[in-house]
A and B are shown apart, each in its own frame.
Chain A
Amino acid sequence: MNNVGWFCTYTPIEILHAAGTCPIGIKSDSGAEHEDVVLGDSICSYVRSSMGGALTGAYDDLAGVVIAHSCECMRRLADGWLYRQEEIKPKMLHLLDVPKIVTNSSITFFANGLRRMKEDLEAQFGPISDDSLRASMTLFHKTRSLFNTIDALRKEDAPAITGTEVEKLIATSWEMPREAFNDHLEAFIDGKKDQVGNTDAPRIMVIGGPGNGSLIKTIESTGGLSVVEHMCTGLRAFTGNPVFNEDPYRELAALYLDGTPCPRMLGDKAREAICEIESMAKEYKVDGIIYYSMKFCANMQMQWALLKNDIPIDVPMKVLEGDISSEINAREVQSFIKRLKKRRKRNR
């Protein structure tokens, strides 16, 4: 089976699956950020890690990649990839333009883009029928539904599921064939039934983008419990309510544009993101928020300023700025969690 890489959660990976390929999510640090000699130091570390990885063979087992034009840094990743294509093994590159607003016309525009992505994939991997796409959509909707079950369990007073476990599940979903992954997820949920977790740990909401592999581990090893991750490596990876449409591409376009919004989104969807964060803080009974902002990501940096300056969220918010691989200052996280514990005691 051919593997096709994707970078951004606005990529409808059902189409990759329907093409008979295994979609591989490229989110973790390639370890080769420093090998990026193309993009320069004003670009975020996630993109530089991806570029460095491409130049040093980290993605050589992929038959191709889909780069979503989701922000200005991702735009430059596509540029760098094309510019050095001769040195990069995965030959297929599809650049998918993703609207930043959700309107009837933007959904139509995005659906047309998805059809073109399908054509590019067909040129490499053979025809994609509407039936096979529908079958893939059903399979991925099942994943969504299973993750929603997990999500519901995490809202309980003493959730038995940790953020570290969910992070691992999401990372697995990006590598494992989907059929096997759904079984894996069902088994995980079965194993958690009737279990009770820690009630003393402050409940944390983590907001961010691709995040940092050490962040949630640090939160949980210093006494906190991550109960919801408003991140690419969290909710954005599986949320969205599929609404049937005769045209599967339009259905996917609406589903992906309308999911848990990345700070890249603008207009009504951006305002919705802020409202969602406010309501989630209540829904998940959050004691505090950690906003992990990727350096050089203007969208996250702007959103955090808005949240800090203008949105009256009832719980404390700690902002950490860093890279995909930078060391997390455990003391800083621990002192925030201690503060939340004291606040919790006071409020009881």
Chain B
Amino acid sequence: MNREQMIKENTEQRKVQVENLLRVNGLEGIKPSDAVKMAFPKAFEDLSPSAKRGYLNTEQFFNAYNLDTNGESTYRHVAWRSLFVPTEIMYAMGLLPFTTEMVASQLAMTGAARERIETAEAHNFSGDLCSFMKAVAGGVIENIFPTPDILITSTHLCDPSAKYSELAAHTYKRPEFILDIPYGLYDLATSGSEKDLARVEEGVDYIYEQLQEMIAFITEHTGLTLESEKMRQVIQWTNEARTWLNEGNDTILAERTSARKGVRELDYAANVMQTWGTQRIVDVYKSRCKEYKANLDPKSDNTEPRITWFHLRPYFKTPLMTYLDEKIDISSSQVNFAFWEPLDPADPIRSIARRTALHPAFSSVTARTRMAINEVSDDIDGIIAYYPKSCRHFHGGSIMENEMFKKAGVPILTIDGDCIDDRGDDFPIVKTRVDRFLKSLKKNPRNTKR
């Protein structure tokens, strides 16, 4: 199929797909252009930082169906993407990422995930598969997602998301590109030995070559090209956004603020995953940082325990997060920070390769837990880790992680839950565990806090 035919076919299919999406969200009969206008009642600039965050995600989501926020229609080159594929090159080339894991969380937030999961399970997707991917698989079967121009996935950290891309490529009949990411380079980088560092460089080179191949693949299938000036601009936005994100994080870690954070704070993770390289994400993190700084309240009588949150949260409606909002102060998050050094505008592809190679979570449990033990601030009372039971990567390491934190004197509560599938949600039981944990924090505070 040539490019013109593909664009024509995608355009037609996306019209149907957005209607299907509205139907499963209970908005049948509403014109897509009206639905979009309803989703954006205010301009981006007039919103709170957290609302800006949501605006950006929703805007990109509708854009993938060729819908602009004003209800007009513009064709977008869309790349189906797994969570850890770097986005800057895509934005610089004019390609819109459609991140499968984020889409699953959006379905869960609108209460539309459970039925999609049941659809997947009725179509041969095993019960113990990752619920993010089952929700996506169900959505593909029900044809509610926009047909991508291409698919790009990476092999870190999760097997299901890279593997599911193979199925999606088959369904949509679109070409797929895989970034094969070497494992454990973060471990080697922290060891500091010359031999290990040479291996890290070898891994970076391997990814660098693949990123070059990825650029050629994008051009071959979409006609989009990478212009160095655009790439430089995108890198600049990423670096600015990184600075504001980390400054905001440092602010709330160092001081009490009366700005309400709670669950909203965890939702910035979605942007961390998808929006590096956009101009709007600079604004989002800048406003967030400014909001926190403007509301510093050192004399606050806020005595809720300060918690570091690990992994993601349940995205479906559950009383758990509201309850936690009342009981704890989420002062930092494992996911919601930029772990990397600023990207080098003079050598952007290589610095993206390096960042990709050195993802701290794509490392041994012992290395990433040691790092976390070193970095958990003295002022933090404890950790709550929320791990989906279907996640081999995080849940599969939680016993070791728990033991290591306990030995290091850092209290941790691991909640075996699910981020997308609400069928096993049992708030009373989890609440009992949370209450006991919070009680123990009060009774046995960390050494650093005594």
Residues of A within 8 A of B (CB): 37-43, 69, 71-73, 75-76, 78-80, 82-83, 95, 97, 99-101, 103, 105-106, 108-109, 112, 116, 263-264, 266-267, 270-271, 293, 295-296, 298-299, 301-306, 308-310, 319, 321
Contacts and interface: CB of A to CB of B under 8 A. Distances in A.
B183 A69 contact: yes
Interface in B133-159: 133, 137, 153, 155, 157-159
Contact of B160 (A69, A295, A298): A298
12 contacts: A43-B396, A69-B184, A75-B393, A82-B364, A83-B400, A106-B180, A109-B202, A109-B206, A266-B166, A299-B163, A302-B160, A305-B126
Given A293-B126, A308-B124, 6 more contacts: A40-B396, A76-B397, A108-B206, A266-B178, A266-B180, A299-B159
Given A79-B365, A80-B400, A112 B392 contact: no
A298 B171 CA distance: 19
A103 B129 CA distance: 29
Q: Which of B124, B392, B393, B397 has the most CB of A within 10 A?
A: B392
A192 B126 CA distance: 41
Contacts of A264: 159
A39 B396 contact: yes
A72 B163 contact: no
A304 B164 CA distance: 11
B400 A79 contact: yes
B362 to A, nearest CB: 9
A305 B184 contact: no
B398 interface: yes
B162 A266 contact: yes
Interface residues of B, number: 51
B115 to A, nearest CB: 18
Given A39-B399, A100-B155, A72 B170 contact: no
Contacts of A99: 180
B81 interface: no
A42 B390 contact: yes
Contacts of B391: 42
Given A97-B182, A305-B125, A298 B400 contact: no
A309 B397 contact: no
A279 B16 CA distance: 36
A302 B129 contact: yes
B364 A298 contact: no
B160 A309 contact: no
A105 B210 contact: yes
Contacts of A78: 364
B395 A42 contact: yes
